[in-house]
Structure formats: structure tokens, C-alpha cells
Amino acid sequence: MTMTPSLRRTATAAGRRGSSAAGWAGWGWIFVLPGLVGLVVFVVTPMVASLVLGFYDATLLGGLTPAGLENFGQLVRDQQFIASIGVTALFVTIFVPLNIGLSLAMALWLRTRLAGRAWLRVIFLIPALSPMVANAAVFRMLLQRDGLFNSVLDTIGISAIPWLSEGRWALLAIILVSVWQTFGYNMIIIGAGLDLINPDVIAASRIDGAGPVRRLWSLMIPLASPALFFATVMTVIGAWQTFAQSYIITGGGPGHSTTTIMLYVYRAAFSYNDLGYAAAISAVLFVIIASVTLIQVWGQKKWVHYDG
């Protein structure tokens, strides 16, 4: 292959400029390395290990002895473990729709003409960004038999609710506290999704005579579906790992009525000193979360539209 001198010169000049514009190719790896090593050591490896450790007996003295299926065999017969799955599943089933529904409603409301919209948004966001433990401590006080909530109920003639001393009420209390604490974050995410909708589309639907309900169901929700999907997936993942609310407000009680899976993991590991058993519970929780997430990702085809 022959090249005229002038062509060859431009080719090498371009090549040199190209390589200098990208810099030395090794820099990319050097810059990515700290983050990558950290991610592998402190995120990926522990996650993989959480699936494996359940097959061992682990003690604090550093011994890891293979235990085969012993831990899992014990799990199947452990009433407390099965109860914790039931409690957490019930929590997720009630908490997530309440959270997403309220987030969507508030995001829509804050789009209407309002005085001090930005400050309203901040007010609803504050609990989501403040310490769960402090919020939970506050509600532990408000939910006492003579606490604020029962005082309010008393003045409107409703008899005191045994918030923390009856299982069903305690779980409901934990759910309501969690909604109060976390929906502000989803409200912002869904609001950002609604902001991406082309205002002309909404104006056009108004001209076409679509009412507010129809506009919501056939226009706003489909167009904001990526945001709703993201918020739902992340909220479900978080909800299965609920811990601090139960730990602080009810201590998992009365009985085991608010003992979530993560609280049971904590108890198994640090009250009963059975780290292998705790790892086995973690592994089951991991599988539950992964399955639920995959089902949602698979199901999104039916309702999530990415071509807004």
C-alpha cells in the first residue's frame, strides 16, 4: 500500500494528536483502580460471601467449619424465622403501596399553584434525610399509652389505642412511622419524573377534553412510569431490610410481632452468637430480595414506558 507523503504526514499527525488527546492509556485503569478494589473488597465480596457463609458454622474466635445444610435445615423448622418472614412480607405489602401512593399524590399536589412550594418540599424531605434512630426515638415517645397520639384521639372521643402493646397495632405503627420518615425522598424522585413530561403534551390533552382523572391514568402515570418504577424497586429493596424502626420503637415485640428479618439476623448473630445461622438468614433474605427485584424488572415491560 502506497501513501503520498502528504497523506502519510496528516495521518500520523492525526494519530499523534488523537493519542495525546486521550492521554496515556494506562491512566484510565489507575484512576478506576481505588474505587474498583474497594468495590470488590467491601461490596461485591461480602455480598457473594453472604450466600456462602450460611453453609458454615462461624464463631467469633475466627473458626469457620463447614456445616453443610445444617443451618438451612434448622431454618426450615425455626418458627421465629418463619414469623419474621411473615412480619417483613406484611410490612412490605402495606408499606410500599402507601409510600408510593403518598409520594405520587404529594408530588402531583406540589406541582399545582402553591405559595412556598420549595419550602413545602423541604419540609416533607427533612425526615427522610434525618437520623432514623432519632425519628424512631421520637415516635417511641409519641406512641406511648399516654403519648401525643392517644391524647389527640382522646380529645376527639376515641379510646386509647394500644400502639406498642398489641402486635397488629405495633406493626401498623412501625409501618406508619416508616411512611412518614421515607416518602419525601420518593416524592422528589417522582416529582423529577413528572417534571420531565413535555408540558405541551399535557396542554394538548387538556384541549382534547381529557379530565383530571383520565389525564392522570392515561398520561401522567405512563409518562412518569420510569420514575415510579425506580422508586418502587428501591423502596421494596429497602423495605425488606427494615431494622432500626423495630429495634428502637418496639424491640421486635410484643412477642415477635414486629421482629423483621434483619432484626432477627442481628439477634441471631449478636444475642445468640450464632454467626453462621445469621449468615444463613441473610442468604435467604438476599434470595428473596433478588427474586422480588427480578420479578419487577421482568414485569416492567407491562407498564413502564421509556420513550416519553
Partner 1 sequence: MTASPTTRPAPVVSPRDGVSPERRRSRRGWIVNSVLAWVVAFIFMVPIIWTFLTALKPGNEVFSTGLRPFGSEILWSNFADAWTEIGFGRLLANSLTVAAITTVLTLTVATCTAYAFSRLRFRGRNGLFVLFVLTLTLPMEIAVIPLFLGFNAVNLLDTWTALILPSLFGAFGAFLLRQFMLQIPSEIEDAARIDGASTPRILTTIIVPLVRPALSVLAIFTFLASWNSFLWPLIILNSMDKWTLPLGLAGFTTQTGTQWELLMAACVLTILPVIILVAVAQRQLVAAIGAGAFGGR
Told to check if 38 binds partner 1 by CB under 8 A, we report yes
Binding of residue 156 to partner 1 (CB under 8 A): no
- Pick out residues in 66-95 that bind partner 1 (CB under 8 A): none
Query: Given candidates 36, 69, 82, 295, which one binds partner 1 under the rule CB under 8 A?
Result: 36
Which amino acid, residue 59?
A: T
Segment lying near partner 1 (by CB under 8 A), choices 25-33, 87-95, 157-165, 212-220: 25-33
CB 196 within 8 A of CB 228: no
Looking at residue 163, the DSSP 8-state letter turns out to be T
CB of 122 to partner 1, least distance (A): 5
Task: Give the integer Cα–Cα distance in Å for 106 and 99.
Answer: 11
User: Of the two residues 42 and 217, which places its CB atom closer to partner 1 in the complex?
Assistant: 42
Closer of 136 and 175 to partner 1 (Cβ): 136
Peptide bond just before 254 cis, omega within 30 deg: yes
Which CB atom, from 3 or from 291, has the smaller least distance to partner 1? Answer: 291
Burial class for 116, CB neighbours closer than 10 Å (0-12, 13-18, 19+):
exposed
Do 260 and 88 touch, CB atoms closer than 8 A? yes
> Which residues, 231 to 250, sit near partner 1 by CB under 8 A?
231, 233-234, 237, 240-241, 243-244, 247-248
CB of residue 1 vs partner 1: minimum separation in angstroms? 27
CB atoms within 10 A of CB 266: 18
Q: From 8-16, 77-85, 111-119, 214-222, give the range in contact with partner 1 by CB under 8 A.
A: 111-119
Q: Does 267 bind partner 1 (CB under 8 A)?
A: no
Q: Report how far residue 161's alpha carbon sits from residue 167's, in angstroms, rounded to the nearest whole number.
A: 12
139 touching partner 1, by CB under 8 A: yes
Q: Which of 89, 142, 197, 219 binds partner 1 (CB under 8 A)?
A: 142
Contact 259, 246 (CB under 8 A): yes
User: Which span (80-88, 106-114, 159-167, 202-210) binds partner 1, by CB under 8 A?
Assistant: 106-114
**Residue 102 contacts partner 1 per CB under 8 A:** no
Residues between 170 and 189 with contacts to partner 1, criterion CB under 8 A? 180, 185, 188-189
Is residue 14 at the binding interface for partner 1, with CB under 8 A as the rule? no
**Least CB distance to partner 1 at residue 208 (A):** 21
Residue 50 within binding range of partner 1, rule CB under 8 A: yes
Q: How many residues does the chain have?
A: 308
Q: Are 70 and 206 in contact (CB under 8 A)?
A: no
The residue within the footprint of partner 1, chosen from 24, 199, 302, 307 (CB under 8 A), is 24
- Tell me the backbone φ, ψ of residue 260, rounded to 5 degrees: -80, 170
Q: What DSSP string runs through 195-245?
A: HTS-HHHHHHHHHTT--HHHHIIIIIHHHTHHHHHHHHHHHHHHHHT--HH
Judged by CB, which is closer to partner 1: 3, or 145? 145
Say whether residue 118 binds partner 1 (CB under 8 A). Answer: yes
Based on CB atoms, which residue is closest to partner 1, 3 or 46?
46
